[in-house]
Amino acid sequence: MKHIAVIWIILLAAIVPAKAACLSQAQARQVVASGQAAPLGAVAGRAGGEIVKAQLCQQGGGYVYVLSVLKGGNVTTVTVNASR
């Protein structure tokens, strides 16, 4: 039984993407102003619904927006590439 649990944990670790390190609002403004990341308005069309919360985060050497999006009455999390 222990072996099954260990295998399950290893599989989950391989499937789940690395957690993004999200920036403060001041850091996000600086990164966008420097041109390292696109402004939210430039990527909002890729969200697929109404954005109710947005965070700019570092992930895998680049930047992503982690968005809470309202679609069809449900809020889902969407990750959108923000690197330039």
Residue 5: predicted pLDDT: 41
- Mean pLDDT for 43-61 is 95
Residue 14 pLDDT? 42
Check pLDDT > 60 for residue 18.
no
Percent share of the chain, pLDDT over 70: 77
Buried b (16+ CB within 10 A) or exposed e, 38-67: bebeebbeebeeebeebbbbbbeeebbbbb
When pLDDT is averaged across residues 60-65 and rounded to a whole number, the result is 94
What pLDDT is stored for residue 20 in this prediction? 72
> What Å distances lie between residue 67 and 24, 40, 73, CA to CA?
15, 10, 16
Q: Is the pTM of this model over 0.85?
A: no
